[in-house]
Structure 1
Amino acid sequence: MRRMPLFFFLLVVFKIFSQDRNFADHLKYVGVAVEEPDYTIWGTSPVIDDQGKVHLFVARWPEKNVNPAWRKSSEIAHYVSDSPEGPFVFSDVAIKGTGTDTWDKYGAHNPEIKKVGNQYALLYIGNSDYHQPPHPSNQSIGMALADSPYGPWKKVGRNGKILDANDASKWNYRSKNGVANPAFLVKDGKFFLYFKTRAGDNLKYGLATADKLQGPYTILDSPVTSNKGTLEDGAVFYYKEHVYLLTTDNHGQNTGIVGGGTLWKSKDGLTFKLEDATIAYDRLPVYYKDFDERKVTKIYGPDPKLERPKVLMIDGHPAYLYGPSGWNIFGGERTVSHVLKIDLPENED
């Protein structure tokens, strides 16, 4: 394999670490989206219904710890508001682990909600055994459909599973991380399912496509991101004739911000090059101006970063960003999910 000449490598590194921060610099902290005294709150995925109500599908569990509770006890709860900025009120539990001998016995997690035509598609992950091992290699992605965000939810196919890492012909066969962190997009009549998986020593994003919403989904022949180090927490949206994939840069190797976000840009959604990426978001204290580390409760993780943020599109524009943090910046004992407004000028992308 040919190596990139040092001069061009340094140009790429300089571009990424001095990237345009248009998206990141136009985020404004609004407040708490979801907070529950008896639940730890995690991934938060938004959708607007035909009446203009905003629905959040949220991963939550009763234990105060994050790990291993998320992979054992997580369920996907549904919250509703008349406004993207809340307040959001609990409605119902949409998906939970079956508790029986299925691929999703435990840990319904990583919610991804999208309106597709007249239906709502709720994607999620689950696992058959939360102990390590076999977890996380047994993580798979499922889908359930409903005519209303209030349900009832019907799992597609035989048992809801639409993607795993068990195809021997694919590059992520028997991935140590299985498939997780689904991000879903409809483009040109095809259905794009982006997912986190392991490729060599790195966690990268792959893509599976289908001609029908319910599948079958076929994994493309190689990863779609050219990231360095570990990334996760994908969100995807279509804006100004480009596909944008937003991921967390766990160790700062792509953005220079440990726990910051990378915003990948692609014309076709099939390849995302690092040299075309910009900074999606910074860590939470950049936006929450009253941040005081002396008052913070550090529940999970070494940094006050956003976890699995998702974008709400309004009239074709990215309008709000939702995401929890492993640190409670107010000093409470539980994690909460935050909402930030995206004030992106019309002439910027």
Structure 2
Amino acid sequence: MLCLLILAPASLACGDEPMKESAFGKSLVPGKFILPAKDGWWNWGMAPIYDEQGQLHIFNSSIPYKGENGMGYWQSKSIINHYVADSVEGPYQLLGAVFSSDQRTYHNPQISKVGDAYVLVFLWKSVEKGSLQSIGMATAKSLHGPWTENPNNPIIRPTPGTSNSAHASNPSFLVDREGKFRIYYKSMSKGSKFREISVAIADKLEGPYMDSPENPLISFKHMQRDIEDPYAFFYRNTYYMITEDRMDVASALSGEPSLDAKPGGNRPGLLFKSSDGIHWERPKFSYNTDAHYFGKELSRTERPHILWKDGKPEYLFLANHGSKEAGFYLKIENWK
């Protein structure tokens, strides 16, 4: 069944059907947890990429540990670290911080390559009181740098009266079918408690990035549910998006909404498909929980990223809140 996700309650007509597992989800094979944080720090998430020699690079968020509040400093003190390894199993070597500042936080990076340039997008937020989550970009000719921040950072910022008026964050970058540049991101309107997915598009890599008039593209606010952490990609002439099902959207779409849905990434992820990257079909499950794969106590699993090899998806990386490591990876085997 084709079911386009729209803001109107009519999208509820696509419910009453149990959520199905995607072929992508069925292809996933458990790997292991990696990148433990050094003492006094919290590692969060992994944005992986191979260089031209086949060495694996990972960019991730590192946050000073805040005792019982754990990641509480992420909005003011997060930095982006750079790791390398010869294989996904490791061992990993920490090369150092790519972005660190007393004036702003750098968080939740995503890495891509466009032509001969590497593109890093990330959550960008000033430490000034009252500042809102925004999106920044940096580019480099080598994964070892030097990195140059876009002079217009933040390239996407909250705009009053729009779907991102409260914040714009957690970006995912891709080059579309027409060769334009898209950044999908988590957005929230002023006064709302529910996260939605929006997109900004540019003709040039450096921007300017203009919000689509169709925003928000995906929203479950009318169900009082939400999703976040979009990882969007263009593959086999199709647009895909993996998200974290933050508040059990799956049960609501299946016609049996859970009564105790709580935010926090404790549930499986969702996989969306689209022919144009603007209008999206009803999702299927994309990945399961840490408890499912590793038999551990259920905890927050977020921040999906794919490691690509020779143009094909090889591994899915996920952040995990319940471990000392940044997260874990899953092997993608024979996804068709």
Shorter-chain TM band? 0.7 to 0.9
- How big is the shift at 1:218? 0.2
> After superposition, where does 1:123-272 map in structure 2 within 5 Å?
123-129=121-127, 134=130, 138-158=132-152, 160-166=153-159, 168=160, 171-172=162-163, 175-176=165-166, 178-187=167-176, 188-199=178-189, 200-221=192-213, 222-227=215-220, 228=223, 229-254=225-250, 258-272=266-280
- C-alpha change, 1:308 and 1:204, in structure 2 (3 Å) is same
Q: Which residue of the partner structure matches residue 120 of structure 1?
A: 118
Q: Which residue of the partner structure matches residue 32 of structure 1?
A: 33
Which residue of 267, 290, 311 maps to 1:316?
311
- C-alpha change, 1:218 and 1:288, in structure 2 (3 Å) is same
TM-score when scaled to structure 1?
0.82
Partner Cα distance (1:278, 1:91) in 2: 38
Partner Cα distance (1:40, 1:217) in 2: 32
Partner Cα distance (1:149, 1:155) in 2: 14
For the 8 Å contact 1:71–1:130, the answer to whether it is kept is: no
Q: Which residue of the partner structure matches residue 297 of structure 1?
A: none
- C-alpha change, 1:209 and 1:3, in structure 2 (3 Å) is closer
Give secondary structure in 2 for the equivalent of 1:161: coil
For the 8 Å contact 2:195–2:219, the answer to whether it is kept is: no
- C-alpha change, 1:156 and 1:20, in structure 2 (3 Å) is same
What's the Cα RMSD here? 2.2
Q: Which amino acid aligns with 2:15?
A: V
Partner Cα distance (2:32, 2:43) in 1: 15
Partner Cα distance (2:212, 2:286) in 1: 25
Larger relative contact order (Cα-Cα within 8 Å, sequence gap ≥ 6): 2
For the 8 Å contact 1:310–1:321, the answer to whether it is kept is: yes
Partner Cα distance (1:95, 1:288) in 2: 33
Partner Cα distance (2:146, 2:56) in 1: 18
Q: Which amino acid aligns with 1:272?
A: W
Q: Which residue of the partner structure matches residue 4 of structure 2?
A: none
Give secondary structure in 2 for the equivalent of 1:115: strand
Give secondary structure in 2 for the equivalent of 1:163: coil
- C-alpha change, 1:244 and 1:35, in structure 2 (3 Å) is same
Partner Cα distance (2:266, 2:216) in 1: 22
Partner Cα distance (1:255, 1:319) in 2: 29
Which residue of 264, 282, 294 maps to 1:288?
294
- C-alpha change, 1:2 and 1:145, in structure 2 (3 Å) is closer
Q: Deviations over 1:183-204 (max 9, x none)?
A: 0001121001001111455211
Give secondary structure in 2 for the equivalent of 1:202: coil
Q: Which amino acid aligns with 2:53?
A: Q
Partner Cα distance (1:125, 1:247) in 2: 16
Q: Structure 1, unaligned stretches of length 5 or more?
A: 100-104, 294-302, 329-333
> After superposition, where does 1:76-95 map in structure 2 within 5 Å?
76-95=80-99
Q: Which residue of the partner structure matches residue 69 of structure 1?
A: 73
Which residue of 329, 333, 336 maps to 1:343?
333
- How big is the shift at 1:255? 5.6
Partner Cα distance (1:258, 1:30) in 2: 19
Give secondary structure in 1 for the equivalent of 2:16: helix
Q: Which amino acid aligns with 1:189?
A: G
- How big is the shift at 1:69? 1.3
- How big is the shift at 1:2? 7.4
TM-score when scaled to structure 2?
0.85
> After superposition, where does 1:1-16 map in structure 2 within 5 Å?
4=10, 9=12, 12-15=14-17
Partner Cα distance (2:219, 2:122) in 1: 25
Q: Which amino acid aligns with 2:126?
A: S
- How big is the shift at 1:324? 2.1
State, as a whole percentage, how many aligned pairs show the same letter: 31
Which residue of 87, 103, 106 maps to 2:104?
106
Q: How many residues align?
A: 308
- C-alpha change, 1:67 and 1:92, in structure 2 (3 Å) is closer
Partner Cα distance (2:122, 2:173) in 1: 11
Q: Deviations over 1:250-289 (max 9, x none)?
A: 111236795221111011111223x2x1111111111114
For the 8 Å contact 2:110–2:171, the answer to whether it is kept is: yes
